[in-house]
Amino acid sequence: MAGDARLKRDVIAERQQIPFEFLESVLLALKHAGIVQSQRGAGGGFRLARPATEITLGDVIRAVDGPMSDVRGDRPESVEYPGAAQHLQEIWIAVRASLREILDGTTVDALVRGKMPKRVRMLTEDPAAWTSIGRIRGAARSRLPRAIRRRVPKPGKRPGLKRSSSDPPAPRAGQG
């Protein structure tokens, strides 16, 4: 969808392998946000409303999904935690800032051309970034490449944490 070229919904759905109904809702959200324009008729279709170099992935995600990194439906700055968890709000703020750094720092043009920002390239060079932590815990950890397995703590083991005899047992793979 670059320049003045207009693409029909069915063409976009087929090329991107997106269900047509889902694509319609995404395009409507992008249109309301001023990211795409539509034109009806035989020569109609959708095109970007402004240059791809001016549209960030953050713009697209906010248009489709709303604010980034809500916590229980609230913005991180609105959430408060009592007691020992009081600093958790800072973590959520940092998570949001990290998402913004990557998504607002990457344009649609960069994505299409495969010219990722330096920070994205740096993060994706780490093999551990390609593995879901959920898959590391438990039995699935044994299927990781040895180089990564050495850096990933075993289930129930965390660097700097020692278990005491009064601690409850760590959950087994597939539990809690």
Tell me: the pLDDT tens digits for 41-56?
888 899 999 999 999 9
CATH fold of 1-50 reads Arc Repressor Mutant, subunit A (1.10.10)
Q: Give pLDDT, residue 172.
A: 47
Domain spans, the chain: 1-50, 56-116, 117-153
Model confidence at 29: pLDDT above 90:
yes
Provide the greatest CA pair distance for the chain: 74
Q: Binning pLDDT at 50, 70 and 90, where does residue 66 land?
A: confident
Residue matched to tokens 């709303």: 66
Distance CA 147, CA 149 (A): 6
